[in-house]
Structure 1
């Protein structure tokens, strides 16, 4: 079991891992050893996640989500399969944690009496400045 939060834990059987060759530099090793990990997690059919988490996770996943609702995470930062596997799982858990956070509801506020007075005084000062402008300069 992979613990995400206090109430959410993923069964390792829900994750599918496949190993692919990593791109980028690495010399001979990169051409013959499959160290990159492609982690697949079926978001829509997961019994471990509540519905609101599934919906938000699909929005957060973006282009990493297939049309069938499968989240694909590719990890190839490290030189070993084991470390890339851990990295992919950590990224999945972090993404699910972000999906569990509910936005704080906004409470509408009202301006204070002092701020209303300051605003009206500033408007009055600005009005006086504009009223003092004349079309032609006065010659004394």
Structure 2
């Protein structure tokens, strides 16, 4: 433990500097005894995606488009973490969650699927197998023509 958290890596050499992150701390809910009532261990990490200089314009547009339903006020990405009792571990969890979210949102679009057709031999083999199975099942029923 100790030391400043390292900047959040998005992909490759793109990182979100710590200066662009806003941290808020509050009391976690749920069980935890006396400790939970006195310590602000829940972490809320807020980052202004629309105004960030950390992302190149292409990645910023892609992230804004993909995260549109998740953005607060149309520009902020907010991540909460409260699963650990320690504020420091919750900070690390929130930072990791934001990094994973941004890596997924800025990923390049998948290659378009090229339509293909099954070969004629494959189609014939499939139909022949269907005929064979049909004969086997018809033979089990005791019904005959």
Same fold per TM (> 0.5)?
yes
Instruction: Please tell me whether residue 114 in structure 1 is matched to residue 121 in structure 2.
Output: yes
**Pairwise CA RMSD:** 2.9
TM-score normalized with structure 1 length: 0.74
Segments of structure 2 that go 5 or more residues without pairing to the other structure are 1-6, 132-145
Q: Measure, in 1, the Cα distance between the counterparts of 2:103 and 2:27.
A: 29
Structure 2 counterpart of 1:133: none
Equivalent position to 1:32, from 24, 30, 38: 38
Which aligned pairs between 1:34-113 and structure 2 lie closer than 5 A? 34-58=40-64, 59-60=66-67, 62-63=69-70, 65-102=71-108, 103-113=110-120
TM-score normalized with structure 2 length: 0.72
User: Which of these two proteins has the greater Rg computed from alpha carbons?
Assistant: 1
Q: Measure, in 2, the Cα distance between the counterparts of 1:121 and 1:2.
A: 57
Matched pairs, number: 128
Q: Measure, in 1, the Cα distance between the counterparts of 2:68 and 2:96.
A: 15
